[in-house]
Structure 1
Amino acid sequence: MLLWLLPGCATIPAGHTDRPVANTVGQGLLDDWLVRSDQNRTLQGLARFKVQTPERTVSGTQVVLAETPGRLRAETLSPFGTPLLIMTVSDAELAVLVTGDSRFYQGAPTPENLSRFTRLPLRPGDLVDILLQRPPVVARQSAAAYMLAEGGWKVVLESSRRRQELRFDAERRLVGVSYLSGEEPQLTVVYGDFDGTTRAAPRRIEMALPAQKIQASLAFDDLALNRQFQPEVFRQSAPAGAILMRLDEPAEDR
């Protein structure tokens, strides 16, 4: 469990309009969320995705399978439902098959390799946790809780250089989280389109990385939690005749 480090009520920062509440309220919100989110270990769904970068915007439909602690399978589909790109991430390897030109990419499951195909510079484990509505909690030296003027609560966790803000709605569901360095936001995640139950998973996830000018969204038309997957789902081998591309080799060697 996460432990509250500040006694009593928090002090309102300058210009802050939200009302501070007892730290036990914030601790309760965190505890409830952690208990609920820990029950979800896998996700499977059909989703519409959109990724905007300074260079271009990409959108389409994907079949997404995710399993904690960092296993992922994403199949980008053509308008006819056939796979255009299949990406698998296991504990040992990231592999991507581009079916149109029979190129098969292999490499370590690193943020750099993952971002080549998702445009999101995240560790696979962090991305999976975000999909499962259990984004990482930063180590912190202090914590505070506020009741928001528009309803719900905000919990703020701070260290010497980093801050995390978690927002909960009136149903005590996690609906947003921001990671900041100083006052500069590094990553923001927003959850929405719940089906009305307290324990429901969000069907819409939005992410923003302001420094890189990247925005991404995932809207699930079909979603299921805690299905059992075989390990082979998150691995793949190069099909016969495919061109092999090693992601971890220097560009001049490829």
Structure 2
Amino acid sequence: MKNLKLLLTRCDRLIVPRSVLLPALTLFVIFLASCAPLRPELGPPVSSDFADALMQKWRDKALSINSIQGLAQLKLEAPLNNISANQVLLVESPNRLRAETLSPFGVPLLLLVADGEKMGALLPSQNIYYQGSSSPENLGLFVNLPLELSDLVGVLLYQPQMIESWKKEAFTLKAGGWLLIHSGTLQRQELIFNDMQELIEVSYFKDNDLYLKVQYAEFSASDSSYPKLLTLEIPEKYATVTLKFSDVETNGQIRPELFKVAPPASARVVYLPD
């Protein structure tokens, strides 16, 4: 994979604990929103058999992806932050993640590694290494997303989590494509498929309030299994983040040591809660 380098990352302005660690410069950080999301205009309903076939086609495609290695441009738009950076991503199912963030000028900002139950984050500018369990709380210091590690990995591998639902509906969209609505207890999930029967949007609701939206786009003709553009939104944060891949490989072999959670010999180690 040309132009893809494995680099360490650094943050010049991080002061740490709790609501600190790089809300702007980490992996996908915070996300979007407006007040009330508008649902596309609905057409006639479709059969459950057709909806099941759409879901199965997506599953077959998505589950063929076990890992990605890529170089992406990261953009964050939020009320107090507008950030542009480069992101080197190594992601492997079910719960391995390595994210290296660089400034547009190539300055290392942050290295985040998570391997199952453990995670570590290196801030080279301060030579500090944060280490602890890969709990949502610890990950949230660096990746401000309401997701478990395995769910975050799933989003990046084009395998967003499906909720447990007791009611399912499906409709055509007047603009083209289909909308599937899965309703559970106090939660709802809406999935949009385009005319090519590709899953392009997943929205998660709690008590009818949108709390996370994931959009996928730019499926290449040569490799239509993985989207080259990911957009993530969180209305609560009034922010949006995009990851646009310039170089990405699926199912390539990744050396296990790249996911190793271990501080550099010279770094000061700060232990996060288990």
Partner of residue 234, structure 1:
259
CA distance in 1, matches of 2:100, 2:235: 27
CA distance in 2, matches of 1:202, 1:16: 25
Partner of residue 187, structure 2:
162
Partner of residue 92, structure 2:
67
Q: CA RMSD in A?
A: 1.9
Contact 1:173 1:198 in 2 (8 A): no
**Alignment deviations for residues 25-82 of structure 1 (CA, whole Å, 9 cap, x no partner):** 1010001111111110101100011234444333300110001112100111244545
Partner of residue 232, structure 2:
207
Q: TM-score, normalised by structure 1?
A: 0.86
Segment drifting more, 196-205 vs 234-243: 196-205
Q: How does 1:121-200 map to 2 (within 5 A)?
A: 121-196=146-221, 199-200=224-225
Q: What residue identity is the alignment partner of 2:248?
A: L
Paired residue secondary structure (1:248): coil
**Alignment deviations for residues 119-143 of structure 1 (CA, whole Å, 9 cap, x no partner):** 2232111111111111000000011
Partner of residue 76, structure 2:
51
Paired residue secondary structure (1:112): helix
Cα pair distance change 1:183/1:80, threshold 3 Å: closer
**Alignment deviations for residues 14-35 of structure 1 (CA, whole Å, 9 cap, x no partner):** x973220111110100011111
Cα pair distance change 1:90/1:33, threshold 3 Å: same
Paired residue secondary structure (1:40): coil
CA distance in 2, matches of 1:194, 1:16: 24
Partner of residue 119, structure 1:
144
Q: What residue identity is the alignment partner of 1:151?
A: G
User: Which is bigger in relative contact order (C-alpha 8 A, separation at least 6)?
Assistant: 2
**Deviation, structure 1 residue 196:** 3.3
Contact 1:176 1:188 in 2 (8 A): yes
CA distance in 2, matches of 1:101, 1:147: 53
Cα pair distance change 1:49/1:215, threshold 3 Å: same
Residue 76, structure 1, aligned to residue 80, structure 2:
no
Structure 1 segments (4+ residues) deviating >4 Å: none
Of 20, 26, 33, which aligns to 2:58? Answer: 33
**Deviation, structure 1 residue 117:** 1.2
**Deviation, structure 1 residue 245:** 1.1
Cα pair distance change 1:70/1:103, threshold 3 Å: same
Paired residue secondary structure (1:118): coil
Point out where structure 1 has 5 or more consecutive residues left out of the alignment: 1-14, 250-254
Contact 1:107 1:246 in 2 (8 A): yes
Paired residue secondary structure (1:24): helix
Partner of residue 128, structure 2:
103
Contact 1:51 1:57 in 2 (8 A): yes
Paired residue secondary structure (2:213): strand
Larger Rg: 1
Q: TM-score, normalised by structure 2?
A: 0.80
Residue 92, structure 1, aligned to residue 117, structure 2:
yes
CA distance in 2, matches of 1:108, 1:71: 13
Paired residue secondary structure (2:264): coil
